[in-house]
Amino acid sequence: MAGPIKAASLPAEIPGVAGADRARGHSWVGHVASILGASALTALAFILLAHFRLTGGWPLWVLLIVLAVASVAGELTSRLIRADARALVLHLAIGSQCMATALVIYAIGWGPTLAVGYLFIAARALDLGGSRTWHIAFVWAGIGTVLGQIAIATGLVSTYVPVPYVHGLAALSILGFGFVMSLLGSKTEQSEIALAERNLAASDTRAALSLLTATLDSTADGILVVDTDGAIKQFNSRFAHMWRIPDDILARGDDSAAIAFVLDQLLYPEMFVAKVEELYVNVDAESDDTLRFKDGRVFHRHSRPQRVDGQVVGRVWSFRDVTDHHRLLEELEHQAFHDSLTGLANRALLRDRLEHALARSRRSEATVTVLFCDLDGFKMVNDTLGHDAGDLLLVEVARRMTEQLREEDTAARLGGDEFAIVLDDTPADEAVALAERLLTSLRAPFVVQGRELSARASIGIADSSDPGLSADSLLSRADIAMYAAKASGRDRCVWFEREMQAELAARHRLHGELRHAVLVDSSLTLHYQPVFDLQSGRVDSLEALVRWNHPTRGLVPPDEFIPIAEETGLIHEIGRFVLEEACRQMVLWRAQPGTSDPSVSVNVSPVQLAEDQFVSYVEAALHRTGLAPTCLVLELTESALLSDTERVHSRLTQLRELGIRVAVDDFGTGYSSLSYLRQFPIDYLKIDRSFVSELGQPSEQARALVRSIIGIGHDLGLRVIAEGIEEPEQLSVLQEEHCDFGQGFLLGRPVPSGQVHGRIQQLLAT
Ligand code: C2E
Ligand code: MG
Ligand code: MG
């Protein structure tokens, strides 16, 4: 395995003429030895020439000293040249060498032949200092020659060459010298230029390689280059880092250990290998794929052939860590298909799963079952406790729901308080059992923001046993069944039946019509039912009960439309109408001469009580109609008291401060205990008619229950009203048990206001 890509593999400088001595490895000692050798030979030649009296007029020892001085000066000044001297130093060095040579040669009388001596100097200067030295050498050789010739002419030195020729020969030799030097100089210059170009090219290559290395090392991608046999040729440091290849494997250059290490980290190593093998066969191919790691990392892998002169010589693999990008994508995908609050699937994912399940079921003849689940009274939680509490409740509901499910089931939140569950291949009885378990788990109290709440749900169930059902129609069937569960009393599960479709359609129609009746037609009307003082037999108050005067169906009772109105928010309009109308009517009655002092009772839905402006609009209604607050009783159900205790408490206190009385309606049907009621400022307890209807029967149990309700009510300082008195026996039992007030068909049915004038007014007048 080759190492990481490095730029340092190129030499810093290509050797050439300028660096010749360095490249040849000349040492200082060697240099001196060569000078000494040449000088010794020259000295020997001088001694020989002196023997034959060919060394001119100067004594031999003077010549030898001059020679020695010239040699030493030559060596020392040569060193200056090599050190890249400036022009002045070059002149000094070459000049002194030329002068010394001229001195020796002219002293021995060989004047014209001295150009040979200059050649040595000039050649050495060229070698050491490059082409720029030859002009200087030529100038100093010229000066040496001229001075020598003057010395001959003035008789300062003698010469072996006949004097008439000596100047011509000198001129000739200096010209020859100049010619040779110009040739050598230009040759040297050429090789210097070539060398500089080579050095420049090498430096460019090094710069490019270093740039490449730096780029590769600073890129976020890990890069690996292999040859056509798959042996690793190069890789960048990021590659080793990304793949966490240990240093010892890298240091050993062990290809197979490195590959084993790589494969060991992958989730699907066989796919990695398959791709590599495929590319061995298709050498020209490029490829992109994704690698998943056991530890969750994700790399994108790109591969392309490496070509030299069009020939594939290997392959480059680049790896990019896309883990974060992948996580983001997964998160986005999760967000797109999941409910952000509960983490359950959303409608889109549920639909997708349902479609797949249906497709599978068509092949395997298994059935797919859908449970459609809607919380009962969730709107009230939201309205009374706020959205945060509502959200917490939904999260907890989702958690309990998931607990009941198998891995393969899909639970989804479709929006608001609607959930759906898709069950794959589950028999009908198991689906029902699951729905029941779900209902039971929801009934256990929830603690939300320190309060205990109970969530109930209505569940509709439908399955795919009818052939050709689409996902949407199956969901809609379960939805319809859910509505049937709500209509038949909530907190239960109901299996889809075909007839329900018509019921649902009717319900939708009813909603539309109600909206029209309330907002456009004003076709609501009030009936009044008297409430009697059971001891005196006088009418104490009249309860206003709303009716809907339907164009085709006649009078529609409130039980049929109040739940829809509460769900859709129409209850606010209805409530305001009832309150104002009842107050207005009571003012009229009380204005009749001889009327006693009756009050009017108005039913208030929990949704109304939760409204922030509730107290102020009650006050405004009293103000507008002119009814005294002491003549108004507001009837609230137990569930209204149970929701947001603090808020309800403060509302009731405000009402009490205005002088308005409060009754707890349908007492006994909710979950509150009498002692729980103690904390609220209330005035009346209305025993639900289900208790009253049991009275008068032989069993004493009902009587005992009613007796205890009346007893505890009185203990709490409340006055007790019995609803739904239909039989004289019931009336007498209630009277015997000291129930304060009573109402019921026996005493007086609810009638329109016009009829109150007739029958009830007689009673009121007494
Ligand atoms: P509630 O407040 O308990 O009203 C008494 C219901 O019992 C009335 O039914 C009345 O007609 C009925 N009733 C009275 N005496 C007897 C009897 O002897 N036997 C039987 N079987 N029933 C008797 P209605 O008018 O159908 O009202 C039903 C419920 O609708 C009311 O129960 C009340 O909770 C609600 N409601 C009526 N009007 C309004 C309203 O204006 N606003 C709100 N929020 N709810 C209303
Ligand atoms: Mg009532
Ligand atoms: Mg009631």
Task: Considering every ligand atom shown, identify the ligand nearest to the alpha carbon of residue 667 and give its number.
Answer: 3
Asked whether 448 and 396 are in contact (CB, 8 A), the reply is yes
CB 242 within 8 A of CB 299: yes
- Alpha carbon distance 139, 133 (integer Å): 10
Model confidence pLDDT, tens digit, residues 164-212: 788 888 888 888 888 888 898 898 889 889 988 998 998 888 888 888 8
Ligand 1 centroid, distance to 659 Cα (angstroms): 24
d(CA 468, CA 501): 18
Ligand 1 centre from 387 Cα, in Å?
31
The single-letter code of the amino acid at 435 is A
- Torsion (CA) 672, 677, 680, 681 in degrees, nearest 10: 130
Give every strand in the sheet of 410-415, ordered side by side. Answer: 410-415, 418-424, 368-376, 456-463, 493-495
What count of Cα atoms within 13 Å lies in the side-chain half-sphere of residue 408? 8
Nearest to 655 by CA among 692, 596, 700, 608: 608
The pLDDT-based confidence of 629 (bands split at 50, 70, 90) is very high
Ligand 1 first shell, C-beta below 6 A: 529, 545-546, 557-559, 562, 578, 603-605, 635, 665-666, 689, 723-726, 743-745, 750
Strands 287-292 and 298-308: antiparallel
Ligand 1, atom nearest to 545 Cα: 38
Contact 299/320 with Cβ under 8 angstroms?
A: yes
d(CA 265, CA 271): 13
**What pLDDT is recorded for position 6?**
46
In this prediction, residue 14 carries a pLDDT of 39
Lowest model confidence (mean pLDDT) among 70-74, 288-292, 537-541, 676-680 = 70-74
Helix axis angle, 428-443 relative to 387-404, nearest 10°?
A: 140
Ligand 1: distance of its center to the CA of 663 in Å? 14
Q: Which of 385, 517, 388 is nearest to 453 (CA)?
A: 385
Rounded to 5 degrees, what are φ and ψ at 351?
Answer: -60, -45
Q: Please name the residue whose Cα sits nearest to atom 19 of ligand 1.
A: 724
SS3 254: coil
Residue whose CA lies nearest to ligand 1 atom number 45 = 603
DSSP code of 293?
A: B
Distance from Cα 689 to the centre of ligand 3, integer Å: 7
CA atoms within 13 A on the CB side of 632: 31
From the alpha carbon of 604, which atom of ligand 1 is closest? 44
Q: For residue 599, how many C-alpha atoms fall within 13 Å in the half-sphere facing its CB?
A: 19
pLDDT reported for residue 764: 61
Q: Percent of the chain scored above 90 by pLDDT?
A: 44
Among 282-286, 357-361, 545-549, 701-705, top mean pLDDT goes to 545-549
Least distant ligand from the CA of 548: 1
**Residues within 5 A (CB) of ion ligand 3:** 665-666, 723
| pLDDT tens track for 116-164 | 778 878 888 888 888 888 888 889 988 988 888 888 888 888 787 777 7
Q: Whose CA is nearest to atom 11 of ligand 1?
A: 750
Q: Which atom belonging to ligand 1 lies closest to the Cα atom of 637?
A: 34
Distance 603 CA to ligand 2 centre (A): 5
pLDDT digits (tens, 9 = 90+) for 454-472: 778 999 999 999 888 999 9
Pocket test for ligand 1, best of 531, 572, 603 (most atoms within 8 A of CB): 603
CA of 755 to the centre of ligand 3 (A): 22
Confidence of residue 84 (pLDDT cuts 50, 70, 90): low
Residue whose Cα lies nearest atom 22 of ligand 1: it is 724
SS3 for 515-556, per residue? HHHHHHHCCEEEEEEEEEECCCCCEEEEEEEEEEEECCCEEE
The answer to whether 695 and 730 have CB atoms below 8 angstroms apart is yes
The structure tokens 């010892």 sit at 248
pLDDT score recorded for residue 675: 66
Choose between 518 and 49: higher pLDDT.
518
State the ligand closest to the CA atom of 573: 1
The residue with tokens 């059902």 is 469
- How far is it, in rounded angstroms, from Cα 269 to Cα 251? 24
What is residue 27's predicted lDDT score, i.e. its pLDDT? 60
List pLDDT tens digits, range 686-732: 999 999 998 877 778 889 989 999 998 999 999 999 999 999 999 99
Amino acid letter, 528: Y
* C-alpha 665 to ligand 2 mean position (Å): 6
Q: How far is the CA of 536 from the centre of ligand 3 (A)?
A: 22
Ligand 1 pocket test, pick from 723, 726, 751 with the greatest ligand atom count within 8 Å of Cβ, gives: 723
Distance of alpha carbon 495 from alpha carbon 712, whole angstroms: 43
At residue 216, what is the residue type? Answer: L
What percent of the chain is modeled with pLDDT above 70?
92
* 571-591 vs 614-625: helix crossing angle, rounded to 10: 30
Atom of ligand 1 nearest to the CA of 635: 2
Three-state SS for 346? coil
How many angstroms separate the alpha carbon of residue 543 from the centre of ligand 2? 7
Residue count of the chain, please give it.
Answer: 766
- Closest ligand 1 atom to residue 750 Cα is 11
Output DSSP code: residue 19. Answer: T
Distance CA 397, CA 417 (A): 9
Please tell me whether residue 416 adopts helix, strand or coil conformation: coil
Taking CA atoms only, the protein residue closest to ligand 1 atom 20 is 724
Cα atoms in the Cβ-side hemisphere of radius 13 Å centred on 50: 15
Distance separating alpha carbons of residues 174 and 133, to the nearest angstrom: 16
Q: Which residues pair with 4 in a beta bridge?
A: 235
Angle between helices 728-736 and 701-715 (to 10 degrees): 40
- Secondary structure class of 191 (helix, strand, coil): helix
Determine the 3-state secondary structure of 421 from DSSP: strand
Residue 230's pLDDT is 82
Report pTM: 0.52
> Which CA distances in Å does 621 have to 579, 631, 635, 647, 681?
7, 13, 16, 21, 22
Q: How far apart are CA 660 and CA 640, in angstroms?
A: 17
Closest ligand by atom to 559 CA: 1
Q: How far is the CA of 514 from the centre of ligand 3 (A)?
A: 23
Q: Supply the DSSP symbol for 234.
A: E
Ligand 1 atom closest to residue 557's alpha carbon, by position in its atom list: 26
For residues 274-288, average pLDDT = 90
Where do we find the tokens 């169930």?
461
